[in-house]
Structure 1
């Protein structure tokens, strides 16, 4: 093996609490000020979604209200900004957002806005749905058939598919290629949120390659800037005329698949910052139209991870030496599960622990990769 030069995309997710984004998906950590909290409560958007981990640990709008009160917003104002004002934004305040005649309302009854205790009583659809964090209902909803089994990878996928033509060094005058580098903090207060700033350091001796899109297929977008994504130059390890994964240098392969079973080529590049010593991680991403992302130290483990994600219909998987170490199936459009939330919570903890056992140093690694999606790839 001999080193040559490669380009890398730097990704530096910001810790929770940087401006209003610190509240967005989690409602955890300090935020800039009460004005930022007021804006975040009023403004619905994609960053308002939460995973089962956040819901089980922090709650939902009740936690946002507590945060706002803790930052100095009056209790009545905080509640209004989480209920009536968003209804007005959508033109629905004639039906929703307040407790009044001819209005529709679910209720949370709380004895205090301090602390993190669940509501004393939750009333939904005119019935008591929960008391002190204990559900008083059974969910008999059936998953629609059209939402299941929507992930289909290329039928001819094999381990050699991960030696993409972009990694070939034959006939290249420029020794550099593009690689994704993730310099995330080792500890976060909660799962990843949309937001971030800055990139990691460049490799010694390699010039910066510019923002994402300078050498890859993605344009420089506000999303890329928000995640702190950029392209830099490094030296990859070369074997048999191809740039290869080298865990000793924290360089791994990343593969991006379309989810519709199209026969197009697999996008394969390099990634830095995961810290994997071996194995592979596979995720189905949240961004439309959706992709399957696999990061790994070995091509055969990457193949196993990709097929496992496909077989589950989507979700998160950790593979080592050809075996699935842990998995969290998300069979509904590759985004959601129809299993009990307690089971999903345990599966999420298991995949995080398995990834950490393989040396991955990203906080909430599978969810971090799924959130970044195609931003993890740039053309070599």
Structure 2
């Protein structure tokens, strides 16, 4: 703060000058003491100068809260903006009305596709938005050595980005064998960030307490991959922050709430990780998590503390997360506390949203590099490229999906075979799945069998396929699968639904095959069309199909996944064949 600004703040605090703005008659959430305070919020130069309980301050502009609850601006501790399918400039516009004033994002989706150009684009597009967007540098590009991504980012490639003030550290470290095995490249990244006095996020899916100890030894301090309360308790015991995730595919909040107690609550916060645009526009993100926590028995002030002060302190954002003297004037006025219905949102002391609408147009949209807009290179394929051959029998290693989870089951099932090749079965819900390398025309194709999707006909494909974002397609027949892949190539990435050889639903995502160039409202209409198309080929659909599909290629989440190099056992960290050749008894 400059001397002149500090002088002004001091003078206002001592009532020698009038403030810029006062929100009067508010019930303010005190996230330090977990109580409500009736006060006027006094603001100047984007900072909170006082909580005036006696009506002693005056301001140029005043507004009456009329006794409504006012809480700090909400913070999403971990989200991939690309999963919303809109760039940062649009993302800010749709999140602010839901009370989210700050996010910490990991752009490893676009960086896995477009490398340094992708990272720079995200930083540039986030520059002039009203929301505060902080970045963690992608730690795993490529995600693992068992697949092909569009880029490689070593420590030397990450180093220039540490100069940015909005870069807070290293994003979720997913490659736990590299950490525990003291891999040289991984240690270069970890030490680079530590020497810059920045932070390191974790990704401890399925790790036991001994493996977590290795993460802690490497300076990793957060985890958003807990799916049980016991996992959460173990991480808190080892001094980690636990991010309670509630997104589109991974919905862990209800299962993790029993781990949160008044004694340990300061080590928990909320995150979204991945959430699709239509769901964000309908229900928001962290505001939705708070309402769900309250509905399941959490004290409202405790839930608000998790979503504000805890997240801010975890990331050393010491001027955010509270409504108190000296803090940034980010706050949210509620219409309904239990449902987290939002009336108005202030960012840096300025009203930016009211009654579900942003008050200002997006500005400063970044130019998109042509390489980012032309990132999809799917080869011309034939049915022979999708053939899964069986040599000895009909017992297969099958990916079992778990609806609304990003983990899978490793199943062994008898499948239908004709002339030595696998044939999908709608009746048994055993479908074909393929991951096709789309970055460098390498020609690698991973093939597998999946159970649990329940498609009755057609095929579904997308270039949103975590984390290397190759093309992934699932279908009941080869013809529709090929049609879907061809459509992805023509539109330079996106979401596609095919029935009887024709595209019946689609959303083009030409920004690295991950994000749209459409405005959010138009994009949502296209998403709704794809959902309608999905129900046409899957009338009983009850889970988020595209997000579930998109995580089937992520080879760091247990148990069985598929990459462009083949079927991958995450527990043993090795490829396995589709056909089970040993003599095993089915469970």
TM-score by length of 1: 0.71
Matches within 5 A, 1:271-286: 271-286=450-465
Query: 1:128-148: CA deviations, max 9, x gaps?
Result: 222111222222424522532
Which residue of 244, 251, 259 corresponds with 2:423?
A: 244
Query: 1:50-77: CA deviations, max 9, x gaps?
Result: 3223322222222323333444444433
What residue is the counterpart of 1:296 in the other structure?
475
How far the C-alpha of 1:282 sits from its partner, in A, is 0.2
The alpha-carbon distance between structure 1 residues 335 and 274, as it changes in their structure 2 partners (threshold 3 A), is: same
The alpha-carbon distance between structure 1 residues 265 and 23, as it changes in their structure 2 partners (threshold 3 A), is: closer
Matches within 5 A, 1:1-380: 24-25=246-247, 30-31=254-255, 33=257, 35-36=259-260, 43=268, 47-93=272-318, 95-100=319-324, 103-117=327-341, 119-140=342-363, 141-142=365-366, 144-145=368-369, 146-154=371-379, 156-163=380-387, 167-169=388-390, 172-182=391-401, 184=403, 192-194=404-406, 227-238=407-418, 240-359=419-538, 361-362=540-541, 363-374=543-554, 375-377=560-562, 378=567, 379-380=577-578
Q: Distance in 2 between matches of 1:258 and 1:45?
A: 34
Q: Distance in 2 between matches of 1:271 and 1:277?
A: 14
How far the C-alpha of 1:243 sits from its partner, in A, is 1.7
Q: Which runs of 5+ in 1 are unaligned?
A: 1-16, 185-191, 195-226
Q: Distance in 2 between matches of 1:18 and 1:116?
A: 26
The alpha-carbon distance between structure 1 residues 153 and 37, as it changes in their structure 2 partners (threshold 3 A), is: farther
Say whether the 8 Å CA contact 1:278–1:358 is kept in structure 2: yes
Q: Distance in 2 between matches of 1:116 and 1:102?
A: 26
How far the C-alpha of 1:302 sits from its partner, in A, is 0.9
Higher RCO (CA 8 Å, separation ≥ 6 residues): 1
Say whether the 8 Å CA contact 2:269–2:310 is kept in structure 1: no
Q: Distance in 1 between matches of 2:302 and 2:265?
A: 13
Aligned to 2:435, what secondary structure does the other structure show? strand
The alpha-carbon distance between structure 1 residues 321 and 112, as it changes in their structure 2 partners (threshold 3 A), is: closer
How far the C-alpha of 1:120 sits from its partner, in A, is 0.8
Is the strand fraction higher in 1 or 2? 2
The alpha-carbon distance between structure 1 residues 250 and 139, as it changes in their structure 2 partners (threshold 3 A), is: same
Q: Which runs of 5+ in 2 are unaligned?
A: 1-226, 233-242, 555-559, 568-576, 579-587
Aligned to 1:259, what secondary structure does the other structure show? coil
Q: Distance in 2 between matches of 1:291 and 1:300?
A: 20
The alpha-carbon distance between structure 1 residues 68 and 301, as it changes in their structure 2 partners (threshold 3 A), is: closer
Query: 1:183-224: CA deviations, max 9, x gaps?
Result: 64xxxxxxx354xxxxxxxxxxxxxxxxxxxxxxxxxxxxxx
Say whether the 8 Å CA contact 1:122–1:130 is kept in structure 2: yes
Q: Distance in 1 between matches of 2:253 and 2:467?
A: 28
How far the C-alpha of 1:289 sits from its partner, in A, is 1.9
Q: How many equivalent residue pairs? A: 316
Q: Distance in 2 between matches of 1:329 and 1:193?
A: 25
Q: Distance in 2 between matches of 1:29 and 1:100?
A: 28
How far the C-alpha of 1:102 sits from its partner, in A, is 5.2
Say whether the 8 Å CA contact 1:317–1:324 is kept in structure 2: yes
User: Which structure has the larger Rg?
Assistant: 2
Q: Distance in 1 between matches of 2:474 and 2:266?
A: 35
